[in-house]
A and B are shown apart, each in its own frame.
Chain A
Amino acid sequence: MARIFAYIAHKGGAPDDTAAELIAAAKKIDPSASPTAIALGWGAELDAVCATLRASHTEVWKIAHETFAYPNAELIRKALVKVLPAGAIVLVPHEHFGIDLAPGLSIKLNAAFVSDVVAIEGVEGSGLKVVRQEFGGQVSAHVRCDVLLGAVVTVRPGAFKPLESAAANGTVVDKSADVGALAAGRRYLETVIAEAGDVDITKFNVLVSIGRGIQEKDNVAIAQELADALGAAVSCSRPVVDAKWLEKSRQVGSSGKTVKPKVYLACGISGSFQHLAGIKGSPFLIAINKNAKAPIFQVADVGIVDDILEFLPELTNKVRELRSVAAK
């Protein structure tokens, strides 16, 4: 079996949650595997990351380089190509950095590439069988990937449950000297922090969250009326922001806000994993969608197949009635 490596995403001196998830993914490829962690970075932060990884990985490859203080996919790719052995299976978290790094890495390693894997069914011969989602999660696909010459596999964050495992007390191997000089055609300048926006959706117990099913900008008012009646805020999924119907600060998801309400009304939202990744704290999730096959119904507590443009105004009227009765 090929040697398995796990690319370690880290921040502020601590490995990301995906570090433990990639161990679980590696064990699905080969139950006897103990993936080698590869951590690239610089200075005390990288040392701290490697020290933590020793507890969970039997071997940790440390690659320190001044330019890795902020990860640049092109430079990191060049470093990885220099140190990785032929035929390696490399697991990378499927997030903004992995998406930047992994496809090009597979080309330079002459390895197969399969992305955004949500489950691994095992290996038959040189064929690794994995599961991916397509069409926004409406259907899944089994994909066979020939790993004979190695593979780069990006793994969806949160898809693999970390395993309980004994302390590894692993060793850190410093591979920095193998990397040599590095240059890139892309240079990091700065990170621009998201604007706060008019309403802080993270502060509300109830969110009326709208997706593509709201259909047009003028219809956002329908959701706002319900939110006003409930004392809730209107949040949304990505297509609503892309269409400029609401500000980016209202977006729930991996590229937007992370929210922890008590009740989440998903209205005309299909339920892509990027959106669901922004909903934490297990709120009571009520989904209303015209499409009975929408993936949101797989994760919601309660579902209604209906047109939100007709359903929401009736709900608003009922809330108002209830409020006026209570006021009397």
Chain B
Amino acid sequence: MEILVCARRVPDTSENEIELNSAGNDIERDELVYSINEPDNYAVEEALQIAGKAGGQVTVVTVGGEDDEEILRREMAMGANQGVLISDDAFQGSDGKGIATILKAFVQKGKYDLILTGVQAEDGGAQVGGMLAAMLDYPFAALVNSIEVLDGKKLKIGREIAGGNREMNEIDLPCVLSIQTGINEPRYVGMRGIRAVASVPIPTHGASDLGVDPRAVGESAAKVKRVDYFVPTLGKGAEMLRGSREENVDKVLELVAAKGGLK
């Protein structure tokens, strides 16, 4: 089974407090810690497990710039056979459809049985996987939290639906699946593993390599554009306790008791 995983490098919300920059038009990007988008990492682990059982290669692809090679190497250290960077000035400012258009061109240059994405990026719209599938006329399923290979032609998959329930489906290959977190336990990647792939060459493809019309992607083609960032004020906000820890503990206890929580 030849598997392609589409991944992205994003600011890591477990490592950063995301704040506005001083101009108020973007998030503060200085000193941000970036990592692979979390659901994408689960997608790579799932691909590795499927390839481990059914055979085949796992390729991880990202659309971005030189800095994004870092996540490709990380996923290669996990066990992915190949990392591919898709990069071109013409791709800057692409919206979700633009990214899907670029990935479609890449997919059509290879031969993949299964394409995985993470369900959503931290700053994304849960959109590229479903768009890519529609462009390729492949079946698609979102929020996938279990995969079982039935034979070379189809999979049995679970989708996360409301209330912790799981919707089971059969899906024909080739297909595109968007992977939900928690589907597996992604393996640990140590420094040694990263060093082992540090000098593996990463092929880079641009618009002409892929035969992508630059007018169909990038900022000029984007119908959807982020105008600015802001911090919303939702509701009245919490009453913040600013005492010492001991005072705060006493206050919390008093409140819990007052609200009937100490019976």
Residues on A facing B (Cβ under 8 Å)? 73-74, 77, 95-96, 99-108, 112-116, 129, 131-136, 138-146, 149, 184-194, 205-206, 212, 230-232, 238-239, 241-242, 244, 248-249, 251, 254-258, 262-263, 265, 270, 284-287, 291-293, 295, 297-306, 310-311, 314-315, 318-319, 322
Contacts and interface: CB of A to CB of B under 8 A. Distances in A.
B164 A249 contact: yes
B65 interface: no
B13 A135 contact: yes
B130 A104 contact: yes
A302 B241 contact: yes
Contacts of B158: 192
Contacts of A205: 260-261, 263
Nearest to A94: B126
B227 A194 contact: no
Majority-rule SS of B interface residues: mixed
A292 B168 CA distance: 40
Majority-rule SS of A interface residues: mixed
Contact of A115 (B20, B127, B223): B127
B83 to A, nearest CB: 24
B117 to A, nearest CB: 11
A142 B245 contact: no
A325 B185 CA distance: 45
Interface string B133-156: 111001111110000000000001
Q: Which of B223, B246, B252 has the most CB of A within 10 A?
A: B223
B147 to A, nearest CB: 13
B123 interface: yes
Contacts of B178: 99
Interface residues of B, number: 84
B167 A191 contact: yes
A283 to B, nearest CB: 8
Given A144-B227, A300-B238, A103 B96 contact: yes
Q: Which 6 pairs from chain A and chain B are nearest by CB?
A: A103-B130, A185-B139, A303-B238, A194-B164, A104-B134, A242-B182
Given A238-B182, A244-B185, A249-B164, A99 B142 contact: yes
A140 B140 contact: no
Interface stretch (B48-56, B190-198, B229-237): B229-237
Given A139-B230, A298-B238, A185 B164 contact: no
Contact of A302 (B166, B249, B250, B252): B252
